[in-house]
Amino acid sequence: MRGAHITGWGSALPDKIVTNDDLALAMDTSDAWIRDRTGIQERRVGGTTAGLATEAAREALERAGCAPESIDLLILATTTPDQHVPATSAVVQHKLGLRCGAFDLNAACSGFAYALVTAHALIQGGGLDRILVIGCDTLSRITDWTDRGTAILFADGGGAVVLEATEHDAILGWDLGADGAAAKILECDIGGYLTMDGKEVFRRAVRAVVSSAENAMKVAGVTASDIDWFIPHQANIRIMHSAADKVGIPHDRVVNVLSYTGNNSAGTIPLGLATAANDGRIKPGDLLLLSGFGAGMTWASVVLRWQP
Ligand code: ACO
pLDDT in tens, 60-78: 999 999 999 999 999 999 9
pLDDT digits (tens, 9 = 90+) for 193-241: 999 999 999 999 999 999 999 999 999 999 999 999 999 999 999 999 9
Task: Say if ligand 1 is within 6 A of residue 132 CB.
Answer: no
Same domain, 214 and 79: no
- Does residue 140 surpass a pLDDT of 90? yes
Task: Show which residues are catalytic.
Answer: 109, 233, 263
Same domain, 117 and 71: yes
List the residue whose alpha carbon is closest to atom 46 of ligand 1.
235
Domain carrying residue 294 = 171-305
Give the chain's domain count: 2
List the residue whose alpha carbon is closest to atom 47 of ligand 1.
294
Same domain, 70 and 181: no
Same domain, 162 and 175: no
CA of 34 to the centre of ligand 1 (A): 9
Same domain, 117 and 246: no
CA of 152 to the centre of ligand 1 (A): 9
Same domain, 300 and 205: yes
Is residue 10 packed enough to be buried (19+ CB in 10 Å), middle (13-18) or exposed (0-12)?
buried
CA distance 88 to 78: 9
Instruction: Give the pLDDT mean for 157-181.
Output: 97
Same domain, 188 and 241: yes
Q: Where does the pLDDT of residue 308 fall: very low under 50, low under 70, confident under 90, or very high at 90 and above? A: confident
> Domain ends where: 149, 166, 183?
166
Task: Say if ligand 1 is within 6 A of residue 109 CB.
Answer: yes
Long-range contacts of 97-103 (CB under 8 A, 24+ apart): 97/68, 97/69, 98/68, 98/69, 98/71, 98/74, 98/132, 99/68, 99/69, 100/71, 100/72, 100/73, 100/74, 101/72, 101/73, 101/74, 102/73, 102/74, 102/75, 102/76, 103/74, 103/75, 103/76
- Does residue 31 surpass a pLDDT of 80? yes
Same domain, 200 and 256: yes
Task: Say if ligand 1 is within 6 A of residue 255 CB.
Answer: no
